[in-house]
Amino acid sequence: MGKVSFQGINALSLDAKGRLAIPSGYREQIAAVCGNALVLTLSPYDPCLWLYPVTEWEAIDVKLQQLSDFDKQSRRTKQMMRGYASSCVLDAQGRIRIPESLREFANLVKYITFLGQGNRFELWDADAWVGQRDEWRSDIGRGVGTASEALRELAL
């Protein structure tokens, strides 16, 4: 089992049964890393879904378990991510079925933006992604907000 590093952006669409075909360029890596077993959950930060290889999810789940229930933000993050976690397996055509409750959360109706984010993918409604991306770009251009310490130290 190797370390995953998903990157790139793809425009995809859901079929009538709520299935999403994973781009073929990722399928071999997914099969090698986790035998096509994936976990889909809510993002606790944005109106999108996060899709992890099960091996990556298991490491995340251990970290989530270690968070204190006495800290409200930690508890809410655990409730969102663990409570909505849904196991899925790529079928013979390289598709996953997205449960209706998760589709509703992220407003996934037809057109999906599929983003590689290192150890996971993000699934966004295509229109929501464009709006959010443009807002973020505008904020950067106007100097809105300050960079975190970790981001300031990152040499790009």
Under a CB-based contact definition with an 8 Å cutoff, are residues 87 and 100 in contact?
no
Q: How far apart are alpha carbons 36 and 121 in whole angstroms?
A: 14
| pLDDT tens, residue order, the chain (156 aa) | 457 889 999 999 999 999 999 999 999 999 999 999 999 999 999 999 999 999 999 999 999 888 888 988 888 888 888 999 999 999 999 999 999 999 999 999 999 999 999 999 999 999 999 999 888 888 776 666 666 666 566 554
Q: How far apart are alpha carbons 88 and 53 in whole angstroms?
A: 10
According to the model, what pLDDT value does residue 147 have?
63
According to the model, what pLDDT value does residue 145 have?
63
Instruction: Output the CA–CA distances (angstroms, integers) from residue 117 to 10, 31, 49, 56, 121, in the order listed.
Output: 12, 18, 12, 12, 5
- CATH number for the segment(s) 6-126: 3.40.1550.20
Q: How far apart are alpha carbons 48 and 122 in whole angstroms?
A: 6
**pTM recorded for the entire structure:** 0.88
Provide the 10 A C-beta neighbour count for residue 49.
Answer: 25
According to the model, what pLDDT value does residue 109 have?
95
The two most distant CA atoms of the chain are separated, in Å, by 47
According to the model, what pLDDT value does residue 150 have?
62
According to the model, what pLDDT value does residue 65 have?
87
Under a CB-based contact definition with an 8 Å cutoff, are residues 86 and 41 in contact?
yes
According to the model, what pLDDT value does residue 1 have?
47
